[in-house]
């Protein structure tokens, strides 16, 4: 591993030990030492912004078990150049408060069949990029650019926490709703709303 590249795993629970030296040693802090690249990893999400709104999820209860405030605090304290996470099976690529966040999930076979567009990130050429993905190139300290279906959507549209209408509710057919979501977002029709999805069903 190059001397200027530091990788660490961020724990979810308070009794787990993240290398405290990484947090305390100012020489290793990426905001203090521009020659050090820090990439951190966690299974769970450190921020709520890395998940689609509850009304847009296949399984809304998952929003209750995707991460923790403590994990978010650890990542903010570390301030990595890149944080890689998983758990939710949504391809994601965004930048928040100076840190890049990336999820390049494998997901379950049925998910890959039912909604590949929201699982795989797309590369600069626009083609879907199945894992494993190149996340860092040592020469030039380069982070390849990727685009996720929902993360791209949220770069262009605000969240609507006041909207609680679940778009996959019965008796709607899940496959039909998924196809409508893809057409809605892919066609740049604006905010995904229950009314907008209904018009495409």
- According to the model, what pLDDT value does residue 36 have? 76
Measured CA to CA in angstroms, residue 33 lies from 52, 99, 135, 188, 191 at distances of 34, 15, 21, 41, 40
Q: What's the number of CA atoms in the CB half-sphere (13 Å) around residue 177?
A: 18
Residues 152, 130 share a domain: yes
Q: Do 56 and 91 have their domain in common? A: yes
Q: What is the pLDDT of residue 84?
A: 95
Question: Could you say which of 120, 137, 156 is where a domain stops?
Answer: 156
Residue span of the structural domain in which 181 resides: 165-201
Are 149 and 176 members of one domain?
Answer: no
State the Cα–Cα distance between residues 4 and 183, nearest whole angstrom: 44
Q: Into how many domains does the chain fold?
A: 2
Same domain, 173 and 125: no
Q: What is the pLDDT of residue 85?
A: 96
Specify whether 81 is located in the same domain as 179: no
Beta strands in 37-131 (DSSP E): 37-41, 82-84, 92-96, 99-103, 121-122, 128-129
Percentage of the chain exceeding pLDDT 90? 63
Strands 99-103 and 92-96: antiparallel
On average, the pLDDT of the chain sits at 85
Tell me: do 149 and 175 sit in the same domain.
no
Domain shared by 55 and 79, yes or no: yes
Q: Are residues 109 and 180 in the same domain?
A: no
Residues 104 and 176 in one domain: no
Q: Which residues contact 25 (CB under 8 A, 6 or more apart)?
A: none
Q: Are residues 193 and 95 in the same domain?
A: no
Amino acid 155: pLDDT: 94
Q: Tell me, yes or no, whether 105 and 175 share the same domain.
A: no
Other Cβ atoms less than 10 A from the Cβ of 125: the count is: 6
Residues 43 and 98 in one domain: yes
Q: What is the mean pLDDT of residues 11-33?
A: 48
**CATH number for the domain that contains residue 74:** 3.30.750
What does the pLDDT average to over 148-174? 94
């Amino acid at each position: 591993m190059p001397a200027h590249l530091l990788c660490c795993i961020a724990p979810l629970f308070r009794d787990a030990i993240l290398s405290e030296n990484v947090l305390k040693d100012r020489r290793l802090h990426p905001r203090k030492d521009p020659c050090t690249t820090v990439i951190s990893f966690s299974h769970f999400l450190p921020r709520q912004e890395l998940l689609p709104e509850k009304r847009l999820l296949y399984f809304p209860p998952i929003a209750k078990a995707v991460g923790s405030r403590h994990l978010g605090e650890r990542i903010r304290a570390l301030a990595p150049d890149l944080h890689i996470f998983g758990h939710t099976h949504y391809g994601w690529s965004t930048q928040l408060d100076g840190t890049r966040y990336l999820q390049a999930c494998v997901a379950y076979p049925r998910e890959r069949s039912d909604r590949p567009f929201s699982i795989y990130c797309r590369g600069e050429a626009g083609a879907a990029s199945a894992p494993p993905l190149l996340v860092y190139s040592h020469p030039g300290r380069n982070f390849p650019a990727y685009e996720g279906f929902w993360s791209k959507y949220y770069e262009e549209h605000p969240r609507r926490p006041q909207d609680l209408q679940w778009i996959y509710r019965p008796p709607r057919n899940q496959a039909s709703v998924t196809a409508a979501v893809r057409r809605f977002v892919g066609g740049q029709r604006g905010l995904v709303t229950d009314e907008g999805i209904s018009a495409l069903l």
